[in-house]
Structure 1
Amino acid sequence: MADDVEEESRLTRISGFLFMHTEHAVYAVLGVLLAATAILALVDATGLLVGAIHELGGSAKLLEIVDRLLFLLMLVEILHTVRVSMRSGKLTCEPFLIVGLIASIRRVLVITLQSSEVMHGPLNPEREALFRISMIELGVLGGLILVMVLSIFLLHRARDDQQVAGQE
């Protein structure tokens, strides 16, 4: 009987050790891939910025640059989440809320530019319908942004040590 318990305990320790190291290996590979993607996105955004400076691009070029930079910020925040998960062994929800917040703000910027471009010119039923759909989406995104900001605020208040995620 004691041998069965000891064998089960040893098997549990070995499997826990293997799973933990497998998880860390996957996190490490994921981190490397995310870092490489972030570097490529940074190079791409830099190229867009240099091109916009040479061409003195308009608002569409600037929106594309801001869109790429916000995408880069999302990648960095996800990379931060992977680092925190590897170090602490816990998955925190705050970085995901921040990524969602950045993605929502990014979409608001795109919709705003698209709807302002659509509204130049004569108003017809198709443009009016597109404008209404854009305003509904902006309203939903605004509500979503408020909910995410409130959630992040409440997470900070609920945390005992008042530290940002990843500082534990």
Structure 2
Amino acid sequence: MARDSEQEGRLTRISAFVFLHTEHAIYAALGMLLAATAVLALIDATGLLFAAIREFGGSGELLKIVDSLLFLLMLVEILHTVRVSMRSGKLTCEPFLIVGLIASIRRVLVITLQSSEVMHGALTPEREALFRASMIELGVLSVLILTMVISIFLLHRARDDQQVAGQE
């Protein structure tokens, strides 16, 4: 009987060791892929910036640059989440809220530019409907952004050690 429980304990330790190292290998591979994607996004954003400088572009080119940079910021924040998860073994929700916040802000910028472009020219029923839908989406995004900001604030306030996620 004691031998059976000793065998089960050994099997449990071996399986926990294998699963932990498999998890770390997957996190490492995911981190490398995210880092490569972030480098490519940075190169793309740099190319967009130089193209906008050469053409001295308008708001459309600037929006593409800002959109690309915000996407890059999202990738870096997700990469940070992977690093924290590997180091601490915990998955925290704060980085996901930050990524959601950045994504929402990206969408607000895109909607704002599209709405301003739509409003140039004659006001047709289609343009009016598009503008109305854009304003509703902006309202929903505003509530979502406010909710995420409050959630991040409450997470910081509730944390005992007052450290930012990833410094545990």
Q: What TM-score comes out, normalization by structure 1 length? A: 1.00
Q: 1:19 maps to what in 2?
A: 19
1:6-155 matches, cutoff 5 A: 6-155=6-155
Residues of 1 paired with 2:38 and 2:28: CA distance? 15
Tell me the C-alpha RMSD between the 2 structures: 0.3
Q: How many residues align?
A: 168
Unaligned runs of 5+ in 2: none
Identity of aligned residues (%): 84
Q: CA deviation at 1:145?
A: 0.1
Unaligned runs of 5+ in 1: none
Residues of 1 paired with 2:93 and 2:140: CA distance? 22
Q: CA deviation at 1:111?
A: 0.2
Q: Could you give the per-residue CA deviations for residues 64-105 of structure 1, whole angstroms, max 9, x where no partner exists?
A: 000000000000000000000000000000000000000000
Q: Which residue identity does 2:24 align to in structure 1?
A: H
Q: What TM-score comes out, normalization by structure 2 length? A: 1.00
Residues of 1 paired with 2:9 and 2:61: CA distance? 61
Q: Which residue identity does 1:125 align to in structure 2?
A: P
Q: Could you give the per-residue CA deviations for residues 26-67 of structure 1, whole angstroms, max 9, x where no partner exists?
A: 000000000000000000000000010010000000000000
